[in-house]
Amino acid sequence: MSWDTKPYNEKKPFGKDASVVAGDNISKSKERYQAMRAYKEGRATAEQVVLLHECDRLIVQVIEEREGDS
């Protein structure tokens, strides 16, 4: 798994094709962030690891669907 982030670009703060977290996504985003942090620190629970795998799977699915619409 890789959760590397790209350097911040002030002129394009959200990056190309970025997803902005808002509304209902905020709580899930916080949960995912906490799981990523725990994983990187080597203290993630089994539930957090599953959450990260599921989020990665959903992200890949959305990207594939977006590319299919092009």
Q: Is residue 11 part of a domain?
A: no
Q: Is residue 38 part of a domain?
A: yes
Q: For the chain, what is the domain count?
A: 1
Q: Is residue 6 part of a domain?
A: no
Give the structural domain span for 49: 26-69
Q: Is residue 60 part of a domain?
A: yes
Q: Is residue 63 part of a domain?
A: yes
Q: Is residue 4 part of a domain?
A: no
Q: Is residue 46 part of a domain?
A: yes
Give 3-state DSSP helix, strand, coil % of the chain, rounded to 5.
Answer: 55, 0, 45
Q: Could you list the mean pLDDT of each consecutive 10-residue stretch along the chain, which spans 70 residues?
A: 58 64 75 95 97 91 80
**For the whole prediction, is pTM greater than 0.75?**
no
Type of residue at 31 = E
> What integer pLDDT is reported at residue 64 of this predicted model?
87
> What integer pLDDT is reported at residue 1 of this predicted model?
44
